Amino acid sequence: MTKPSEIKLLGTPASPFANRVQFVLNLKSIEYEFIHENLASKSELLLTSNPVYTKVPVLFHGNKTPIPESLIIIEYLDEIEPDVHRILPMDPSHRAENRFWANYIDTKFFPLYEELRMTPNKEGKEAIKKQIIEQSQLLEDTFVKFSNGKLYFGGDDVGYLDVVLGCFLAWTKFVEKHNDMKVFDEVRTPKLVEWVKRIWSHEAFKINVPSNETLISFYMMLQIYKPPRAA
């Protein structure tokens, strides 16, 4: 068993990648200390623990080398606590498939939200919205395949891809609200609409859902430090 005080997570409450790690810590009932990072003025701790990317989250486990990158962190947690709510499947081929889609979500799907923010004109934004909708349909197909008629990507319970995609749901709602669009809807992605409700009410998830105010202030910080491209 991991001793509670051994784990510290450097993050910011609005970061979906930090929320992803919190989701797994909660699923595994691992106690941890949350260290708040200010990304507008990065701390010495962040700069020294993740010098390559200088991004949150970073996990500290006792005196071991700090671990950056949310996917690497959640796999690490699955390895140190394999007997409590395992998130990756046992079968290596299934694990590979899970990792493929996690990589897709992180490198293709979620970056479109940022692209939408960075794109200045209405026409450009409409093109990005179209891509988000196309990709959400691909995710619906992926959900149908992985869940195999059950409730989650992981089957009967939350698994790796539920955590990987689930952590973006607060930002999904935010994007929908501010861009007059539906990422997931009853007609195009009926299974994911039901899945969203399930994740949203899951105990291990809802504890760390960032509030609307938290998302707005993070968004405003992004607008200052990484402003949209000029029209």
Ligand X SMILES: N[C@@H](CCC(=O)N[C@@H](CS)C(=O)NCC(=O)O)C(=O)O
Angstrom CA distances, 120 to 46, 109, 124, 177, 214, stand at 31, 19, 7, 18, 24
Which of residues 57 and 166 has its CB atom nearest to ligand X in the complex? Answer: 57
Minimal distance in Å, beta carbon 9 to ligand X? Answer: 11
From the CB of residue 32, how many other CB atoms can be counted at a distance below 10 Å?
A: 20
Name, in order, each residue with C-beta under 8 angstroms of 129's C-beta and a sequence gap of 6 or more. 116, 179, 181
Which of residues 137 and 211 has its CB atom nearest to ligand X in the complex? Answer: 211
Minimal distance in Å, beta carbon 122 to ligand X? Answer: 26
Minimal distance in Å, beta carbon 21 to ligand X? Answer: 8
Cα 63 from Cα 166, distance rounded (Å): 30
Complete edge-to-edge strand list for the sheet that includes strand 7-11: 33-36, 7-11, 58-61, 67-68
Minimal distance in Å, beta carbon 70 to ligand X? Answer: 4
User: Which residues contact ligand X (rule: CB under 6 A)?
Assistant: 15, 17, 39, 54-57, 69-71
Task: Give the residue nearest to ligand X (CB).
Answer: 55
Which of residues 3 and 229 has its CB atom nearest to ligand X in the complex? Answer: 229
Query: What is the distance in angstroms between the CA of the first residue and the CA of the last residue of the chain?
Result: 54
Which of residues 177 and 226 has its CB atom nearest to ligand X in the complex? Answer: 226
